[in-house]
């Protein structure tokens, strides 16, 4: 999912995310976003990450998840996501 939309991720994005989050190739990307939603006493604040940075969620076949910020190098933000 990319910001709530089902997408497939290109192999280059998967390789970079796995390397930066230090997870093996059994992990697949299941979530990604460039906007952090922060819940405050004033309401929900949307914080945009810098260009090239995404918060991603990775999951292995056993259901183990890892989350982190990944900076994708050499891939424009709007490329490498394939809508299903």
Per-domain boundaries in the chain = 7-75
- pLDDT mean over 18-25: 97
Helix (H, G, I), strand (E, B) or coil at 21: helix
- The model carries a pTM of 0.80
Rounded Cα distance, 77 and 16, in Å: 14
- 2 or 8, which is more confident: 8
pLDDT at 9: 84
Q: Read off φ and ψ for residue 4, nearest 5 degrees.
A: 90, 0
pLDDT in tens, 44-83: 999 999 988 999 999 999 999 999 999 988 887 777 666 5
The per-residue DSSP string of 27-81 comes to -EEEEEESEEEEEETTEEEEEEPPTTEEEEEEE-TT--EEEEEEE-SSS-TTSSE
């Amino acid at each position: 999912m990319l910001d709530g939309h089902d997408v497939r991720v290109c192999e280059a994005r998967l390789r970079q995310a796995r390397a930066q989050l230090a997870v093996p190739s059994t992990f697949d990307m299941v979530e990604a976003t460039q906007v952090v939603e922060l819940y405050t006493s004033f309401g929900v604040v949307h914080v945009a990450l810098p260009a090239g940075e995404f918060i991603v969620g990775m999951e292995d076949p056993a259901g183990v998840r890892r989350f982190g910020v990944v900076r994708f190098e050499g891939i424009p933000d709007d490329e490498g996501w394939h809508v299903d």
